[in-house]
Chain A
């Protein structure tokens, strides 16, 4: 497909790609043709008229002229030069600075081109139109738009449309007054803009520029600390401060793109609120202490709480190396398997479910390959808000003609682009998916060859479809069956079809069943073991995949090796030189419940904030209040740290070395850009220091690299991973040995289950634990804002993000709002069986009738005080997606 053809450029014959444009062919040979509206990431537009060349004697714009065999291309004829000069002059005079020496300096490609073509400034006044100075739009906290130096190349609008998919801006007032805009009289901030800054990065004249931009003294390449997309970023550093971030083009996960959090959200690192010294509670208040005092106290108290009395909660925000050390500490030093982390509250059903059906609980495809899917089923994922860079791949798939099915009770942003938006009742996913599968089987759209060759238990599964008849499915889901049938056909008939899901599937009392339903669907249609298909749980935090891989889970060692398998236990006993417990430990909820109704006396809480993140958060707070000894290790004094007996100040992601494993299983480097702030220390250092003070061997690591060596030696899927190998590009596990290239997509030949086959599961529909009734007539579902992350410990310390989303909003449908006489902006009280919260209302059709939604980002309105802690029997994840509430004006 990459055929070469011969063309002549300025008299010399060259071989070029047959698919190239004239401009690309020239640029590739380092032959400069002036151009402004062309960008390598965008489709050709041909609007700036600067890239004129002669092809076989005719003037054409090189950016949208394909090369043809034998074409004679000249870039330097008099006709080209003269016409181009006129075009440059006209652009210059419409650019109010209008001089060759633009004060934007190197940011202005136009002035560079003007110098190249030899503009004579004295000629410009002939064309200059009367000054028309327009106000600079400074409404966005992160960047500004000066329309006066805009040359209307359209790169910003096309970036927003073609890459981001939002199309927040466009040419408006076309004619003499053409400008870039969004709505009448509206500023940038009021548009659909998602503040990602991709347009600013590409602006060729500096018309769009970053507010307060500082050129960094140096850059360090690392991995973003926010969601599981795992984007490569170049962090800019001046002195000991982070001053900039830009996307790493070479990184396959993001190819240089970033979202608003990735590009602008790093400044929390510089926050004056950072914890800089250990704190010890004395006489009821947290007082500053030395590391020696704090570590001695922790070591002494932990020594007295070994075994069942101790539990650790690790963190998906820490590196693999740090999670490894924490679970090793819990198991080898404290003698308990009670180590868990926030994946319990997000994707534990993915781990539990997909391990049963596929043998491996991770995203099967690579993020980039999702853009090549012919159909995407996005169920229970608000992808553009929670995983913006994977959202870009969804957009890429749509632009290439792929089908998009969105299944979500809320009318999320993606619904705007969907071929089909199914608004099923929150918690009815099993009925919806089984209903779809029933259609697929009834209409024989399934893949019998794949099922025969690669799967097991199909018959039992097929029989279980009998109960999902039209009437039942409609009743449970609240969706007309015809729509479900259409979705089924669309998914089954457009291959490869990729299924994406997130918390909408997992955070239910039947989360594991939901996950099994997704794997059933993929198996049924033969969409597993292909690059752009599969089942793709989108992981929420930068290293939640890694924290699971590292065994920060109570039932498995690193690499999902079960604690109750004798050979596994023996292997780790030998490696660590201690006796280990073979009983699975307590999970996240059980740990906190274990304070009042169990053996827990000491909790080691690292980088986690249950006071806001835990379902039925009041109980979590009570447990933290009551526990004998609570150590909180974090970068800020979180709501949970206020209950601590000892607070240990940790280093942020920018202050340490290690690795994160992103949602597509790619293990990538995290690099130290600045020294730890104040007297903070990286988490591995702290845990090792505690262990050593307790006299434990095996915690003398010199570097994160050395920890990775131990991880690789004990974790088969990480066997071939070393820091050296991932210096340039990360590796995707499984990567069992030093010569293995990593795994782009899972289950290509076989499933890592004893039988080697993917397993179907018959499923029974179970309703949510709590359903609306007369007293609590509405359903509350939880969501995430693009502008915040988890409990906002980091993002609310980034002033611009706080500006973009300053407070909790109770999203309520107009129909319910009218009935309750609530208008947008009114303060409302939301009450559930467990508590009440006040926040302002946002009346919007995004929420379906009967359902309200809230985030959990704001400590002033702690939504999880309302949510239900009833949990899935297998994965023990609480049902944060559905609870019954009532709403009234506050």
Chain B
């Protein structure tokens, strides 16, 4: 597993507890997420208990503990999208991709997450796929877009 090769990533940081968050960011940058082994490796490098690493990491929504898919689908739950039916967009995506929010498909193609606001309220409801926005969606459009992609 890739966690064996974290040496160069870690060595940029001092071996002390204060480095913890920077270490977690660097490791996530390198691996895409924070696998359990990596948390242990970070703990050892920063000289803090493994539980504390997870305690800190799980507080911040920026840290992920599961691998993400090649395509990261983010459903906007901002006010405008919410009013525009973001709930139904999310439900449709969950059904089409076959995974609940926060998970990744088995083939590692898609991850499904929600975000507070993408910042294009005029286009609500919208989602982003790897930072590319699809706008003014309906459940039907979503199904079409992803059904095709699933084939």
Contact = CB atoms under 8 A, between A and B. Distances in A.
Interface stretch (B48-56, B81-89, B116-124): B48-56
Contact of A192 (B4, B50, B59, B65): B50
Contacts of A186: 36
A687 to B, nearest CB: 49
A167 B39 contact: no
B65 A185 contact: yes
B54 A170 contact: yes
B47 interface: yes
Contacts of B65: 184-185
B4 A166 contact: no
Given A175-B59, A814-B4, A183 B54 contact: yes
Nearest to B44: A416
A168 B49 contact: yes
A632 interface: no
Contacts of A4: none
A765 interface: no
* Chain B residues touching A, majority SS: helix
Nearest to B61: A175
B49 A183 contact: no
B58 interface: yes
Closest 4 CB pairs of A and B: A167-B49, A184-B65, A170-B55, A170-B51
Interface string A157-177: 100010000111111111100
9 contacts: A167-B51, A172-B51, A182-B50, A182-B54, A183-B36, A183-B54, A184-B66, A185-B36, A416-B44
Nearest to B63: A184
A814 B7 CA distance: 14
A193 B36 CA distance: 16
A855 B66 CA distance: 36
A183 B66 CA distance: 12
Interface in A174-219: 174-175, 181-186, 191-192
Interface size class for chain B? Answer: 10 to 19
Nearest to B59: A174
A814 B4 CA distance: 10
A171 B56 CA distance: 9
B4 to A, nearest CB: 7
Given A170-B54, A183-B40, A183-B51, 16 more contacts: A167-B52, A170-B51, A171-B55, A172-B51, A172-B58, A173-B59, A174-B55, A174-B58, A184-B36, A184-B39, A184-B58, A185-B36, A192-B49, A192-B50, A192-B51, A814-B4
A702 B143 CA distance: 89
Of A167, A184, A416, chain B has the most CB atoms within 10 Å of the CB of: A184
Contacts of A172: 51, 54-55, 58
Interface of B: 4, 34, 36, 39-40, 44, 47, 49-52, 54-55, 58-59, 65-66
Given A175-B59, A184-B36, A814-B4, A170 B47 contact: no
A825 B39 CA distance: 22
A58 B40 CA distance: 44
Contact of B51 (A169, A173, A174, A814): A169
Interface residues of A, number: 22
Nearest to B66: A184
Which of B34, B44, B52, B65 has the most A CB atoms < 10 Å from its CB? Answer: B52
A182 B58 CA distance: 10
Contact of B50 (A161, A171, A175, A183): A183
Contacts of A184: 34, 36, 39, 54, 58, 65-66
Given A184-B36, A185-B65, A814-B4, A191 B55 contact: no
Contacts of A171: 55
A348 B65 CA distance: 51
Nearest to A814: B4
Contacts of A169: 51
Contacts of A168: 49-51
A815 to B, nearest CB: 11
A172 B56 CA distance: 7
Given A175-B59, A183-B36, A170 B4 contact: no
Interface string A540-570: 0000000000000000000000000000000
Nearest to B4: A814
A191 B36 contact: no
Contacts of A416: 44, 47
Contacts of A166: 49
A173 B55 CA distance: 7
Contacts of B36: 183-186
Nearest to B36: A183
B52 A183 contact: no
Scoring A167, A168, A814 by chain B CB atoms within 10 A of each residue's CB, the highest score goes to A167
Give the residue among A168, A169, A172, A173 with the most B Cβ atoms within 10 A: A172
Given A183-B39, A184-B65, A186-B36, A191 B51 contact: yes
A192 B50 CA distance: 8
A161 B55 CA distance: 14
A290 B51 CA distance: 57
A173 B47 contact: no
Interface in A796-819: 814
A27 B47 CA distance: 38
Contacts of B47: 416
A881 to B, nearest CB: 26
